[in-house]
């Protein structure tokens, strides 16, 4: 799945509207450091304005069957592209699929995110990427040295994709719903029991998708809170990092009452303009970066 409602997710709007497509490849990072307020135009640029549209709630981005069908179609197109190259025959695609590009990335690719990964994450950290979809970030991170990776999604085709492509890479894959991870990572009565804890949770659009899951506002809110609390639960008790790259639910993450206990969570990046130690700025991608660090509750 993107695991949870969406598989790592990007908003792709059906042909009856306009389409916001994920980047099909990681963009090369420019050598010029961007200054405050300086932005570029990317394939995901319209996403933030779309997120404020009431029409978004009518889209199926919070449904597991939508994402399973979506990933199956991307794999079908990829296979057809290979056959087309061999047989010189045309291919057919639906409007939600970027033909010939099975792998893609939500919001920003590895090249743009890498300075921020260095800022908050160590290569040896145990990293969970929920709702991984077919995001190229996973393989890029592994090849860059972040090799203690676990990915999950509630769309089986997503995990089948990584199982096919991981080759020698020791990436752990699970089909699971981010709203309830107890089957994979049981609750522990002892905070010192860290066997099932991760050092880092790297959410990249999954909570966006979860926030759209449900038939009512109450159900959507409940799913969103449940998923967020599960990610909080499986990060290690002291020093664990929860990272969220969001195009839709950043305000909910920041404002939902009692979601982040100030005595337990320190916010390191609150969505405002942020500059890394080596000068890269958070306006290098068209979404909101939020980072919390778990600390011993006072």
Structural domain including 110 reads: 47-67+100-294
Cα 296 from Cα 51, distance rounded (Å): 35
Find the CATH number of the domain harbouring 149.
3.40.50.150
Secondary structure letter of residue 235 according to DSSP? B
Angle formed by the axes of helices 156-165 and 64-87, nearest 10°: 40
Predicted pLDDT at 190 = 64
Within-domain flag for 17: no
In a domain, 4, yes or no: no
Asked if residue 16 belongs to a domain, the reply is no
Q: Are 272 and 249 in contact (CB under 8 A)?
A: no
% helix / strand / coil in the chain, to the nearest 5?
30, 15, 55
| Backbone torsion region of residue 12, taken as left when φ is above 0, otherwise alpha when ψ lies between -120 and 50, otherwise beta | beta
83 within some domain: no
141: three-class secondary structure by DSSP: helix
Q: What's the whole-number average pLDDT of the chain?
A: 75
User: For residues 68-100, b (16+ Cβ closer than 10 Å) or e, as one string?
Assistant: bbbbbbbbbbbebbeeeeeeeeebeeeebbbbe
Are 9 and 133 a contacting pair, CB within 8 Å? yes
296, HSE (Cβ side, Cα atoms, 13 Å): 1
Q: Span 133-146, mean pLDDT?
A: 93
Q: Which residue has the tokens 């080759």?
A: 167
- Spatial distance between the Cα atoms of 188 and 237, rounded to a whole number of angstroms: 11
Q: Categorize the per-residue pLDDT at 179 as very low, low, confident or very high, splitting at 50, 70 and 90.
A: very high
For the stretch 193-215, pLDDT in tens is 555 689 999 999 999 999 988 88
- The pLDDT tens digits for 246-271 are 988 999 999 998 899 988 999 999 99
**Residue 82: inside a domain, yes or no?**
no
Burial class (CB in 10 A: 0-12, 13-18, 19+), 32: exposed
Maximum distance among all Cα pairs of the chain, rounded to whole angstroms: 66
CA dist 112 and 133 (Å) reads 19
**Count of structural domains, the chain:** 1
The reply to whether the predicted model has a pTM over 0.85 is no
Residue 138: name the closest of 177, 98, 176, 104 by CA: 104
86 falls within a domain: no
**Contacts (Cβ under 8 Å, ≥6 apart) of 68:** 1, 155, 156, 157
In the predicted model, what is the mean pLDDT of residues 273-296? 88
Q: Is residue 38 part of a domain?
A: no
Q: Is residue 37 part of a domain?
A: no
DSSP state of 33: P
Residue 64 pLDDT class (50, 70, 90 cuts) = confident
């Amino acid at each position: 799945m993107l695991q949870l409602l969406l598989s790592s997710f990007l908003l792709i709007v059906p042909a009856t509207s306009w389409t916001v497509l994920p980047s099909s490849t990681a963009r090369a990072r420019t050598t010029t450091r961007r200054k405050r307020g300086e932005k570029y135009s990317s394939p995901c640029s319209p996403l933030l304005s779309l997120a404020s549209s009431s029409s978004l709630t009518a889209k199926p981005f919070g449904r597991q069957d939508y994402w399973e069908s979506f990933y199956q179609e991307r794999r079908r197109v990829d296979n057809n592209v290979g056959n087309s190259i061999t047989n010189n025959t045309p291919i057919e695609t639906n409007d939600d699929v970027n033909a010939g590009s099975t792998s893609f990335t939500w919001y920003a690719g590895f090249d743009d995110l890498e300075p921020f990964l260095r800022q908050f994450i160590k290569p040896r950290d145990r990293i969970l990427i929920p709702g991984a979809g077919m995001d190229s970030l996973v393989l890029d991170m592994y090849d860059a040295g972040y090799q203690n990776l676990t990915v999950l999604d509630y769309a089986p085709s997503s995990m089948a994709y990584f199982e096919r492509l991981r080759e020698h890479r020791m990436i752990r894959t699970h089909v699971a719903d981010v709203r309830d991870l107890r089957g994979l990572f049981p609750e522990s009565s002892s905070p010192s029991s860290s066997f099932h804890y991760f050092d880092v949770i790297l959410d990249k659009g999954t909570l966006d998708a979860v926030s759209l899951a449900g038939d009512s506002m109450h159900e959507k809110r409940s799913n969103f809170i449940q998923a967020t609390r599960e990610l909080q639960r499986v990060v290690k008790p002291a020093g664990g990092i929860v990272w969220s790259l969001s195009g839709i639910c950043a305000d909910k993450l920041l404002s939902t009452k009692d979601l982040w206990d100030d005595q337990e969570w320190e916010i390191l990046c609150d969505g405002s303009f942020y500059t890394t130690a080596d000068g890269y700025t958070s306006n290098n991608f068209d979404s909101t970066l939020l980072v919390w660090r778990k600390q011993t509750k006072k």
